[in-house]
Amino acid sequence: MSMMSEFKEFAVKGNVMDLAVGVIIGGAFGKIVDSVVGDLIMPIVAAIVGKPDFSNLFFVLGTAPAGTAQTLDALKKAGVPVFAWGSFLTIVLNFVILAFIIFMMVKQMNKLKREAPPPAPAAPPEDTVLLREIRDALKK
């Protein structure tokens, strides 16, 4: 089998196409989750904790040059090592929310799947049917 025909067989299989569609939809869905977390959930959490923005929570691990603003972007541009735990917290929260939503979707899809009816029992072989008829006739 040539390499091109082997590749064609691989690429046209249903699983590969399903995976491609899943990746594309997952990318778009990730943007929705980012918006939900960044625009809806994080402001509420930040209001409870008292910080307006988690992405600017960090520890400076080096010395900042004089005159550098004490913001995460400015320190990163200046090449100062920073421990940006607020950004990490936001990404972890994004992941947890995305995983929970996917879990709920899979749970609902499994619930909607209809159980396949059990197959009808196979008819007994003809010789078994004849033997049963003979047995029943002898019982009389």
Q: Looking at residue 55, which CATH number applies to its domain?
A: 1.10.1200.120
Rounded Cα gap, residues 43 and 46, in angstroms: 5
Question: How many domains does the chain contain in total?
Answer: 1
Its domain, for residue 12, covers 3-139
Q: Do 85 and 57 form a contact (C-beta atoms < 8 A)?
A: yes
Q: What is the pLDDT of residues 66-107, one digit of tens each?
A: 888 888 888 888 888 888 888 888 788 778 877 887 788 788
CA distance 28 to 94: 14
Please state, as a whole number, how many other Cβ atoms lie within 10 Å of the Cβ of residue 55. 17
Which pLDDT tens digit goes with each residue over 122-137? 888 999 989 999 999 9
pTM (global) more than 0.75: no
